[in-house]
Amino acid sequence: MDEPAKPGWLERLGAWLSPEPDNREELVEILHTAYEKNLLDADALSMIEGVLQVSEMQVRDIMIPRAQMDVIDIADAPEAFIPFVIETAHSRFPVIGENKDDVIGILLAKDLLRYYAGVEFDVRDMLRPAVFIPEAKRLNVLLKEFRMNRNHIALVVDEYGGVSGLVTIEDVLEQIVGEIEDEYDFDETEDNIIQDRAGNYRVKAVTEVAGFNEVLGTSFSDEDYDTVGGLVVSKFGRLPKRGESIVLDGLKFQVLRADSRRLHTLLVEKLPEAV
Q: How confident is the model at residue 9 (pLDDT cuts 50, 70, 90)?
A: low
**The predicted structure's pLDDT at residue 131:** 94
Sheet holding 263-270, edge to edge: 193-195, 201-204, 263-270, 251-258, 245-248
User: Same domain for 197 and 265?
Assistant: yes
- Residue 165 belongs to some domain of the structure: yes
Condensed to tens digits (0 to 9), the pLDDT of residues 40-84 reads 777 777 777 777 777 788 898 888 888 888 999 999 998 899 988
Least confident of 20-29, 135-144, 240-249: 20-29
User: Same domain for 153 and 119?
Assistant: yes
Q: Cα-Cα-Cα-Cα dihedral of 190, 265, 251, 64, to 10°?
A: 140
Q: What is the mean pLDDT of residues 198-205?
A: 86
Q: Are strands 72-73 and 92-96 parallel, antiparallel or unpaired?
A: parallel
- Residue 225 belongs to some domain of the structure: yes
Q: What is the mean pLDDT of the chain?
A: 82
- Please give the residue range of the domain that contains residue 149: 60-177
- Residue 12 belongs to some domain of the structure: no
User: Same domain for 51 and 120?
Assistant: no
More confident residue, 123 or 21: 123
Compute the residue count for the chain: 275
Distances (CA, A) of 164 to 14, 158, 240: 43, 6, 18
Share of the chain above pLDDT 90, in %: 35
Residue that finishes a domain, picked among 108, 143, 177:
177
User: Same domain for 78 and 105?
Assistant: yes
Q: How confident is the model at residue 241 (pLDDT cuts 50, 70, 90)?
A: confident
- Residue 236 belongs to some domain of the structure: yes
- Residue 97 belongs to some domain of the structure: yes
Radius of gyration, CA atoms only, the chain: 23
User: Same domain for 33 and 67?
Assistant: no
Distances (CA, A) of 153 to 94, 219, 263: 9, 41, 22
Q: How confident is the model at residue 184 (pLDDT cuts 50, 70, 90)?
A: very low
User: Same domain for 197 and 230?
Assistant: yes
**The predicted structure's pLDDT at residue 217:** 92
User: Same domain for 67 and 116?
Assistant: yes
Number of domains in the chain: 3
pLDDT at 190 over 90: no
- Residue 28 belongs to some domain of the structure: yes
**The predicted structure's pLDDT at residue 62:** 85
User: Same domain for 168 and 81?
Assistant: yes
**3-class SS of residue 214:** helix
User: Same domain for 160 and 68?
Assistant: yes
- Residue 16 belongs to some domain of the structure: no
Q: How confident is the model at residue 18 (pLDDT cuts 50, 70, 90)?
A: low
**The predicted structure's pLDDT at residue 35:** 75
Query: Which stretches of 78-173 are assigned E, i.e. beta strand?
Result: 92-96, 103-108, 132-134, 153-157, 163-168
* Cα gap 235→247, rounded to integer Å: 10
CATH number at residue 105: 3.10.580.10
Q: What is the mean pLDDT of residues 87-104?
A: 90
The DSSP code sequence of 223-265 is: SS-SBHHHHHHHHHTS-PPTT-EEEETTEEEEEEEE-SS-EEE
User: Same domain for 38 and 100?
Assistant: no
